[in-house]
Structure 1
Amino acid sequence: MGLMQLNSFAGGKWIAPSGQTRLIKSAITGETIAQAGSDALDFQDMLDFARNTGGPALREMTFHGRARLLKALALHLNNHRDELYQLSYQTGATLADSKIDIDGGIGTMLVFASKGRREMPDDRVYSDGNTEVLSRNGTFLGQHVCTPLHGAAVHINAFNFPVWGMLEKLAPTLLAGVPAIIKPATDTSYVTEACVRIMVESGIFPEGSFQLIMGGTGDLLDRLGCQDVVSFTGSAHTALSLRSNPNILRNSIRFVAEQDSLNASVLGPDVTPDAPEFDLFVKEAVREITTKAGQKCTAIRRIMAPANLVDPIIAAISAKLDKNTIGDPANSATRMGALASAAQAADVLEKAAIIETEATRVYGDPNACDVVGEGLEGGAFVAPMLFHCADPDSAEQVHATEAFGPVATVMPYRDLAHAGELLNRGGGSLVASVITHDPSVARKMVETSAAFHGRLYFNNRDSMGESTGHGSPLPHMVHGGPGRAGGGEEMGGVRGVMHYMQRTAIQGSPDILSAVGGTWIKGATRKTEAAHPFTRNFDQLSIGESIMAGPRTITLEDIEHFAHFTGDTFYAHMDEDAAAANPFFPGRVAHGYLLLSFAAGMFVEPNPGPVLANTGLEGLSFQKPVSAGDAISVTLTVQKKTKRTDTYGEVRWNVLLSNQDDEQVAEYTLLTMNEYAPITEE
Structure 2
Amino acid sequence: MSLLEISSFAAGTWIAPGAGARTIASAITGEPFATAGNSALDVQAMLDFARNTGGPALRKLTFHERAKMLKALAQALNAQKQALYDLSFNTGATQSDHLIDIDGGVGTMFVFASKGRREMPDGHVYLDGDVEQLSRHGTFLGQHVCTPLQGVAVHINAFNFPVWGMLEKLAPTLLAGVPAIVKPATNSCYVTELAVRIMLDSGILPAGALQLVSGGLGDMLDRLTCQDVVSFTGSADTAMKLRQNPVILRNSVRFVAEQDSLNASILGPDAEPGTPEFDLFVKEVSREMTTKAGQKCTAIRRIIAPQTRVEAVIEVLSDRLAKTVIGDPRLETTRMGALVSNGQKADVLAKAGIIGQEAERVFGDPDAFEVQGADAGKGAFVPPMLFHCADPDKAQRVHDTEAFGPVSTIMGYRDLDHAIAIANRGQGSLVTSVITHDPTVARDVVLGAGAYHGRIYINDRTSMKESTGHGSPLPHMVHGGPGRAGGGEEMGGVRGVKHYMQRTAVQGSPEMLAAIGGTWVPGAPENTGPAHPFTRRFGELAIGETLHTAPRTVTLDDIEQFAHFTGDTFYAHMDDAAARRNPFFPGRVAHGYLLLSFAAGLFVEPNEGPVLANTGLDGLRFMKPVSAGDSIKVRLTVKKKTRRTDDYGEVRWHVTLTNQDDEMVAEYELLTMNAY
Q: TM-score range by the shorter chain?
A: over 0.9
1:193-204 equivalences in 2 (<5 Å)? 193-204=193-204
Q: Distance in 2 between matches of 1:12 and 1:613?
A: 47
Alpha-carbon distance, 1:288 to partner:
0.3
How far apart are the structure 1 equivalents of 2:377 and 2:425?
39
Residues in 2 aligned to 1:199 and 1:549: alpha-carbon distance in whole angstroms: 53
1:40: Cα distance to partner? Answer: 2.4
Q: TM-score by structure 2 length? A: 0.99
Q: Is the 8 A contact 1:15 1:40 kept in 2?
A: no
Deviation at 1:374, TM superposition (A): 4.0
Give me the whole-angstrom Cα distance separating, in 2, the residues matched to 1:138 and 1:470.
Answer: 49
Asked if 1:179 is matched to 2:158, the reply is no
The equivalent residue for 1:593 is: 593
Match of 2:314 in 1: 314
Question: Which residue of structure 2 lines up, in the alignment, with residue 337 of structure 1?
Answer: 337
Q: CA deviation at 1:99?
A: 1.1
Instruction: Give the drift of 1:375.
Output: 4.9
How do 1:147-166 and structure 2 match up within 5 A? Answer: 147-166=147-166
* Number of the residue aligned with 1:389: 389
What does residue range 45-444 of structure 1 map to in structure 2 within 5 Å? 45-375=45-375, 377-444=377-444
- Contact 1:430/1:455 (<8 A) preserved: yes
Displaced runs of 4 or more, over 3 A = 374-377
SS in 2 for 1:616: strand
State the alpha-carbon separation in 1 of the partners of residues 37 and 385 from structure 2: 36
CA distance in 1, matches of 2:397, 2:387: 12
Counterpart Cα distance in 2 of 1:476 and 1:538:
30
Alpha-carbon offset, residue 98 of structure 1? 1.0
* 1:27 correspondence with 2:27: yes
Question: What pairs with 1:504-523 in structure 2 (closer than 5 Å)?
Answer: 504-523=504-523
Deviations 1:466-487 (A, max 9, x none): 0000000000000000000000
Residue identity matched to 2:511: D
The 3-state SS of whatever aligns with 1:104 is helix
Equivalent AA in structure 2 for residue 182 of structure 1: V
Query: Quick one: which amino acid aligns to residue 465 of structure 1?
Result: K
Show CA shifts across 1:56-90 (max 9, x none).
00000000000001000101100100000011100
* Structure 2 residue matching 1:539: 3-state secondary structure: helix
Q: Which amino acid aligns with 2:185?
A: A
2:28 and 2:374 in contact (8 A); partners too: no
Post-superposition offset of 1:366 = 2.4
- The CA deviation string for residues 465-523 of structure 1, in whole angstroms up to 9 with x for no partner, is 00000000000000000000000000000000001000000000000000000000011
SS at match of 1:130: coil
SS in 2 for 1:266: strand
* 2: CA distance, partners of 1:641 / 1:662: 28
Q: Distance in 2 between matches of 1:19 and 1:443?
A: 56
2:465 is matched with which residue?
465
Residue-by-residue CA offset, 1:270-290 (whole Å, 9 max, x unaligned) = 111010000000000000000
Question: Structure 2 CA distance, aligned partners of 1:576 and 1:2?
Answer: 93
Q: How does 1:529-608 map to 2 (within 5 A)?
A: 529-608=529-608
Question: 1:574 deviation in Å?
Answer: 0.5
Secondary structure at the aligned position of 1:392 is classed as coil
Shift of 1:38: 2.2
- Structure 1 residue 306: deviation in Å? 0.6
1:96-152, Cα deviation, whole Å (9 max, x unpaired)? 001100000000000000000000000000000000000000000000000000000
Alpha-carbon separation, structure 1, partners of 2:159 and 2:102: 13
> Which residue identity is paired with 1:605?
E
**1:458 shift after superposition:** 0.1
After superposition, the C-alpha distances for 1:401-429 in whole angstroms (9 at most, x for unaligned) are 00000000000001111111001000000
- Shift of residue 20, structure 1, vs aligned partner: 1.6
Cα shift at 1:2: 4.1
Which whole-Å deviations, capped at 9, do the CAs of 1:182-201 have from their partners, x for residues lacking one?
00000001101111111111
- Return the offset for 1:377: 3.8
Counterpart of 1:388, as a letter, is H
Name the amino acid aligned to 2:458: F
> Quick one: distance in 1 between partners of 2:151 and 2:518?
24
Say whether the 8 Å CA contact 1:38–1:217 is kept in structure 2.
Answer: no
Residue type at the aligned position of 2:661 = D
Q: What is the root-mean-square deviation of aligned Cα atoms in Å?
A: 0.7
CA distance in 1, matches of 2:356, 2:522: 66
Superposed, 1:450-461 pairs within 5 Å as 450-461=450-461
Task: Go from structure 1 to structure 2 and tell me whether the alpha carbon gap of 1:178 and 1:336 turns closer, same or farther (over 3 Å shift).
Answer: same
Aligned to 1:679: none
1:590-618 CA deviation, whole Å, 9 max, x = no partner? 00000000000000000000000000000
Q: Which runs of 5+ in 2 are unaligned?
A: none
Contact 1:261 1:426 (C-alpha < 8 Å) held by counterparts = yes
Q: What amino acid sits opposite 2:72 in the alignment?
A: A
CA distance in 1, matches of 2:462, 2:201: 45
Deviation at 1:340, TM superposition (A): 0.4
2:267 aligned partner, one-letter code:
L
Contact kept, 8 Å, 2:630 with 2:660, in 1: the verdict is: yes
SS of structure 1 residue aligned to 2:599: helix
Q: Is the 8 A contact 1:328 1:376 kept in 2?
A: no
Instruction: Tell me, in whole angstroms, the C-alpha distance in 2 between the residues paired with 1:235 and 1:119.
Output: 34
> What SS does structure 1 have at the residue aligned with 2:130?
strand
Which amino acid in 1 is paired with 2:477?
M
Indicate if the aligned counterparts of 2:29 and 2:374 stay in contact, CA closer than 8 A.
no
Structure 1 residue ranges without an equivalent (≥5): 677-682
Give 3-state SS (helix, strand or coil) of 2:651's partner. strand
The percentage of aligned residue pairs carrying the same residue is 71
Secondary structure of 2:73's partner?
helix
Instruction: In structure 2, give the amino acid aligned to 1:628.
Output: A
